[in-house]
Amino acid sequence: MRKHHLSSADFSQLQFDNQFIKQLPADVETENYSRQVINSCYSFVNPRVVTAPQLVCYSPEMAQLLDLTEQDCNSPLFTQVFTGNALLAGMQPYALCYGGHQFGQWAGQLGDGRAINLGEVVNQQGQRFTLQLKGAGKTPYSRNADGLAVLRSSVREFLCSEAMHHLGIPTTRALSLTLTGEAVLRDMFYDGHAKHEAGAVVCRVAPSFSRFGSVQIFAARNDTVLLKQFLDYTIRTDFPHLGDPSVATYLTWFEEVCRRTAALIVHWQRVGFVHGVMNTDNMSLLGLTIDYGPYGWLENYDPNWTPNTTDGDLRRYCFGRQPKIAQWNLTQLANAIYPLVGRIKPLEEALQVYVTSFAQGWEKMMAEKLGFLSYQATTDAPLIDELLDCLTLTETDMTLFYRLLAHCDVSDLDKQASWFEILLPAYYQPQQLTGEIKARLAQWLRAYGQRLQQDNLSNAARQQRMNAVNPKFVLRNYLAQLAIDKADTGDFSMIEQLLDALRHPYAEQPQYEAFAQKRPDWAKNRAGCSMLSCSS
């Protein structure tokens, strides 16, 4: 199909504003080939035309935010547009220029290597959204890659984007998942075993896709003019409540980024989400979860676990290190805006805002997970420390443990035998619950029960509080892989079922009980269920 602009009568409810490209400088080179892009925030580039676009699924909630109807989303036009074969009136596709630190080392220019922004829309409520296609072809930032994506990684991104939103975690969203009808060659684990896989495109949606690396690239190039222009635009557009840009505003802005980042990481730790590749180019200036690559969910509680094969030795981005890595990344952002601020101390003070915000947020979050009315440092700090140690004594499913703990009747501290029965499904190897481990758990449960009695909450009230923050349903790695396996045969039913179940992660939903079970033995070491590569 020949790419063309459609008349304004098509999806006329999508009102394109495109302030980013109106206010910031574009790459003067219009040819689409890999290169260093200087003195520019983006490059104009069109999505690749594909042979046989097919809609796999879409998010009704995200469509509604964009003022799109069910009829719109099921139309052939929708599939053509959000696979990249057609452009609506007002769309001006472009790819972003940014840099970043990857695994602690400055990597220079990175940019949107397989993402193309279609434009910015403003909905009927005045909310701004950037529509972005991931997997829609090469850009000037693709380096030696093809700019494409495959079905397995696209299913994971589509489902997790929406799952995180419904968990109450700041995230980029997903509007649609489509097949291209073309095969893509991928070496999943970079081990010389490449094979052809189904090509796919996800339409990602966010108020902005700006990253820490979007600021860093201009600082690294000593381009303070463009650094200031980009930061001023970001403040005016995405942080208008901070007022007109100035040195004082830059510091206030940085403090807010620190607070948002702290809140984001607290959420990740709450539900056991591991990003897997927290490079500075994968950190959102808006405090959103961004770039779903080799992510994973803690199943057995292990602070040293990472889903990323590339990080398997150093474990830089493992679950337990995420808070410190976020602080390190914020330090790199502080270094990047230093030329505009000119003073070290206020930047250091802002970084301390992250440390304080995370510590306070983590304490409050853990108190909520355990059903306490508030965090009491004297009693709760040692109680939480001991619990986290107990969770590592034998393989313990994090999600199930907290969910089942809410069901324990703590009105009688002598009923701990019944508590063990309730918690038993959370253990992967129940036979490993030795007398010593049981004694330690029993001691913790008694201390926990005594602490709960201080709050004088009924079991029902405590359970309601705990179930509001401890999800029953998360996108377990093996569930995503099962959905991918079915999708590879042309059966997309499990994607739809998971999407539906993950809309209400804190509800019981007995019809989806099978999605709330712990990881089966077959999935422990299977590719896609345990470790993933950056191409996943």
pLDDT single digits (tens) 353-391: 999 999 999 999 999 999 999 999 999 999 999 999 999
- 157 vs 159: CA distance, rounded Å: 6
- Cα-based distances in Å from 507 to 159, 297, 375, 400, 475: 18, 19, 25, 14, 15
Instruction: Return the closest-CA partner of residue 524 out of 265, 259, 305.
Output: 305
| CA-to-CA separations, 493 to 43, 76, 348, 488, 498, in angstroms, rounded | 38, 20, 51, 12, 9
Q: In the predicted model, is pLDDT for residue 125 greater than 60?
A: yes
The predicted-structure confidence for 265-294, as pLDDT tens digits, reads as follows: 999 999 999 999 999 999 999 999 999 999
Chain center to CA of 206: 12
pLDDT of residue 8: 43
- Are 165 and 173 in contact by the 8 Å Cβ rule? The answer is yes
What are the pLDDT digits (tens) for 406-426? 999 877 777 777 888 899 999
281 included as an active-site residue:
yes
Q: Which band of pLDDT confidence, cut at 50, 70 and 90, is reported for residue 189?
A: low
What distance, in Å, lies between the first and last C-alpha atoms of the chain? 29
| Band of residue 2 on the pLDDT scale cut at 50, 70, 90 | very low
Average pLDDT over residues 110-137: 97
Asked if pLDDT for residue 427 goes beyond 90, the answer is yes
What does pLDDT average to over the chain?
A: 94
Q: Which of 232, 281, 311, 397 is catalytic?
A: 281
Two tokens at 520?
Answer: 């089966």
Residue 92: both structure tokens together = 């001006």
Rounded to the nearest 10 degrees, the angle between the axes of helix 435-455 and helix 377-390 is 150
SS3 396: strand
What pLDDT is attached to residue 415? 73
Residue 532 has pLDDT above 80, yes or no: no
